[in-house]
Structure 1
């Protein structure tokens, strides 16, 4: 096996590994059936021609002879019998009468028809292809498993077999609407086969608001610690009340030992570190949960999950509720997560940083890949190329066999071979071409240039009535070439600044100058939530911009990937990402020359975020963006405005510099 494998590699250095294994499988399984080098050529010659355009037919046949010598030396030495020259009349009838004793003589002058119907047995060829397919499946399955790790959870749905190994961090990816969130809910509610001893926590709902302090809300997750503290209090009270029961002291000593064993005294500090990382100041940690908004309560739910450390932690879009500083902290924290993590996220940078494995959901099945998202893209692309090559090679093989069948269909001498070839085609595994996912395209309108100045903010200060100053002494400017991203902690005034720029809010002091022909296109998450859910997308645009032909509305929707029957579905039946695209289409119907985008990625999948970045780069108007998606920021922004500490400042060095500032702050907070 090794010798002819080396020969193939030496003679055909550019051969694809899958095709090489295919050829080796055919040769290995047909070794006993090959009668001569022509048989070998019939079996693999067509494939070898495909991978070596510089070799002639004679070269390939010579290589097939060498392969036969390696596979079956005895047949190679006598593949055509002893060499003879037919220089006298031969009586074939008498030779046929002595067939067995004169076999060599007959072979020397007569090409015999083999009774085997195929050059390579159809069953053996099918077996070889099945073996190759199993190898490929094993390769793709093995890349997501740690051999020594125990199975944590097995989920079977439709054609899906999902195995999660203890201690691995999995990123579940796939287009919107395929069922990623549904799968997480099925796991968390144990609708799937999951070992009973495995603890599962799904961060899905915000913490209920009551008088419990934020820090206590997190500490209460540790039920073991809470029960021990409760027992300690009861025993201490009984002893202090004068009880003479001698066992109480022993019980109390045992409780103290257990509290020491679980390091109960360190729990408040650990909970505080988690809360601080997620943006809760010391003062906020001592506030009642009812004082927080829904977004902050979701952060509390995440903090409780991180503190309780379940065997399997399920996170669904955890970065949606976080600012960039909290996302960076969470990325660093989860890289040291001791148990198993399954996370759904559209944040490309998060998926490149946190997961050890990617689970790719598509076509009602899950494909596992080892590595982060970037490695997944590379591996998937290469895998699809190989699958397509294998499909094309099989199609050529089918065409070659079909050509033989068509050529000799009515030849009586070849009838057996033709029938065998027909059976071969029937038994070949049916490979399918790689299904390419429909690409997402977004296109913002082309606009006419404006002469500067376009936008200027001078000495702007803003404060809400009877509230603290949000920011002051803000001096910034923008042009139609600007690609500005505003970053900062939640509550630092990012959205407030956008509204001042667009004239929705009036600054408490200072002036915001805008060009008289500047037309803003404003996108925010509440615009998506406030779409009329009872009409279709065409009717929605028609109500906002009446009097235009239907074709124009449909063309506008089509430029944001909402076309065909999708444009005629009610808005309420669309996915979150599709609703966002409808909102983009409506925003651009008025041909704005300056886009103001407030967290536009919250409901978009990774492919649509990529398309949004490309569309922004092609747009010839100005853009101001508020986002926590690091990849999108790096993709489009050439200027960074940072909100915080009562000011808004432009940061030179872009996002890299801002990230350094954030990581330095996080390190300083951890060291305190």
Structure 2
């Protein structure tokens, strides 16, 4: 379906690919992974429209390949007056009308041959999307997506997550040879995430999907393409097996690297001694021995292990507070109500202590973001924030917190940083290299913008954080870094999230939106609800055990206890077999 050979491409500020190659066969479902800003979306853009890009290397796409595409950004407002059925059947109705028009024209025209050719082309196009079975196919897809109830609803009445699924369904109904999707899972609630999984797994055709969602990665793909540090590698198989092979390789290579380092260090000591003797004694043999040792050292340095898929930049997210006060009531919400065309929330009451870490959960479109934004604005009588509490906010609408026309330097100068060097030092911890600090924020990837928001939130040293979908667009390494930062934070956090892992790993309890109000739910009950309604209990519990062992392996590697790391890896492998 696709063959890429030795493709290289650069932006003015940054190199993206260095002679990358891969193939994608018919009917493969491929996950496209890599850290934020590594160039995944750009590569999909190149595949869709290669003529727009000046790249080196070869890109071959199957002749007459029909490509379907789902962007990571929805365009809900453009179709607001259309029903779901009309929106999904747009091409079908257009072809039907065209066929009717051609038939009418044939009754009176003398150009029958031309019209017959047009008629056949329209029939072929109709047949390509299912022909007379189109509505039946549409209904099947809506049922898979659990959206049949919205068939006659206006698009404007859908939540953002529901509309994203509708976009996926629409592209699939066009029967593309190649389906490209850029983070289709962003902002989907638990139910819609399962629907997306069903749609992906039911699709007959080749798929290339950018995703960082750990649930989808483990359930939907038979091939992995990993782009990292300008290089790319392919893996035929499941993500969970690929991840394990990376971990095994990491243990082996780091063990070899330490042996290399020891040898380099020993050789360096010998070179220093020979230099010392050569400076005292003018003996030719000392000079020859020194030159020989220097050549050995050069060879050792050249062979030093370089592993682009193991040397992955993980942001160093540090969430700290400007003070450490005794535990107080940080936030009190009393009889809060919100309505737009209809009531979303009414008679909402809860309070948050200054050390509570709380997830707000609920279906797409139930008012979670509106509530969080109102808490941040703090201009309603129903919302009371303790005077000792300083609040910072991360928005799922990144332009709400970041000025996208600013450069990274300008953005941090505007919040109190005094020198360019201070900013460069600070943002380097978040993976932003010096060469992109003069880049406009609007040109960054979605993941990079969210990391930048996290850097701003951390710089505020606020003691209550309002985080709206903070893991959206983040690669898996950044998600894990954020989880660690949240665990170590000693202030209050209110987080909207549909990421089960982040909730389970970081939160004390959840506030669940049901029947237009909010109630508190302990984590044990939340787990039971998730097991009953959305995800398999055994799978999730094994995943938690797997994460625990992975953390122990990471610690063993850090302590250079490679025997323990290998032993734990065997334990991990047996767990993975259960998955």
Q: TM-score, normalised by structure 2?
A: 0.68
Residue matched to 2:202? 336
Specify whether residues 637 and 268 from structure 1 end up closer, same or farther in structure 2 by C-alpha distance, changes over 3 A only: farther
* Structure 1: gaps (5+ residues): 1-151, 242-251, 412-422, 665-672
> In structure 1, which of residues 421, 446, 450 is the aligned counterpart of residue 326 of structure 2?
450
Q: Measure, in 2, the Cα distance between the counterparts of 1:349 and 1:535.
A: 35
Compute the RMSD of aligned alpha carbons: 4.7
* Structure 2: gaps (5+ residues): 9-18, 52-58, 109-118, 275-283, 286-294, 536-579
Q: Measure, in 1, the Cα distance between the counterparts of 2:415 and 2:265.
A: 57
Q: Measure, in 2, the Cα distance between the counterparts of 1:651 and 1:170.
A: 37
Residue matched to 2:414? 543
Q: Measure, in 1, the Cα distance between the counterparts of 2:126 and 2:419.
A: 74
Residue matched to 1:199? 66
Indicate whether 1:186 and 2:46 are aligned: yes
Q: Measure, in 1, the Cα distance between the counterparts of 2:104 and 2:515.
A: 47
Larger relative contact order (CA 8 Å, sep ≥ 6): 2
Tell me the SS of whatever aligns to 1:454. Answer: strand
**Residues 90-489 of structure 1 mapped to structure 2, 5 A cutoff:** 152-156=1-5, 157-158=7-8, 159-189=19-49, 192-204=59-71, 208-209=78-79, 212-221=82-91, 227=95, 231=99, 267-275=134-142, 282-283=149-150, 285-287=152-154, 298-387=164-253, 431-435=303-307, 436-446=311-321, 447-464=323-340, 467-489=341-363
Residue matched to 2:501? 631
**Residues 543-582 of structure 1 mapped to structure 2, 5 A cutoff:** 543-545=414-416, 557=427, 560-562=430-432, 571=441, 574-582=444-452
Spell out, residue by residue over 1:274-315, the C-alpha distance to the aligned partner (whole angstroms, 9 max, x if none): 44665757456442x578798766544322112233222111
Specify whether residues 397 and 563 from structure 1 end up closer, same or farther in structure 2 by C-alpha distance, changes over 3 A only: closer
Does structure 2 retain, via aligned residues, the 8 Å contact 1:519–1:592? yes
Q: Measure, in 1, the Cα distance between the counterparts of 2:318 and 2:263.
A: 43
Residue matched to 1:19? none
Q: Measure, in 1, the Cα distance between the counterparts of 2:403 and 2:106.
A: 63
Spell out, residue by residue over 1:479-511, the C-alpha distance to the aligned partner (whole angstroms, 9 max, x if none): 23322111222221101222343454537xxx4
Specify whether residues 585 and 440 from structure 1 end up closer, same or farther in structure 2 by C-alpha distance, changes over 3 A only: closer
Does structure 1 retain, via aligned residues, the 8 Å contact 2:37–2:444? no
Q: Measure, in 2, the Cα distance between the counterparts of 1:534 and 1:229.
A: 45
Does structure 2 retain, via aligned residues, the 8 Å contact 1:188–1:201? no
Does structure 2 retain, via aligned residues, the 8 Å contact 1:545–1:589? no
Residue matched to 1:520? 391
Q: TM-score, normalised by structure 1?
A: 0.60
Spell out, residue by residue over 1:235-275, the C-alpha distance to the aligned partner (whole angstroms, 9 max, x if none): 69999x9xxxxxxxxxx9xx99x999997565335424544
Specify whether residues 453 and 572 from structure 1 end up closer, same or farther in structure 2 by C-alpha distance, changes over 3 A only: closer
Q: Which has the larger radius of gyration?
A: 1
Residue matched to 1:592? 462
Q: Measure, in 2, the Cα distance between the counterparts of 1:460 and 1:425.
A: 70
Deviation for aligned residue 1:190 = 5.8
Deviation for aligned residue 1:184 = 1.3
Does structure 2 retain, via aligned residues, the 8 Å contact 1:299–1:321? no
Deviation for aligned residue 1:618 = 0.4
Specify whether residues 597 and 582 from structure 1 end up closer, same or farther in structure 2 by C-alpha distance, changes over 3 A only: same
Does structure 1 retain, via aligned residues, the 8 Å contact 2:376–2:391? yes
Q: Measure, in 2, the Cα distance between the counterparts of 1:586 and 1:372.
A: 36
Residue matched to 2:490? 620
Aligned residues: 481
**Residues 4-15 of structure 1 mapped to structure 2, 5 A cutoff:** none
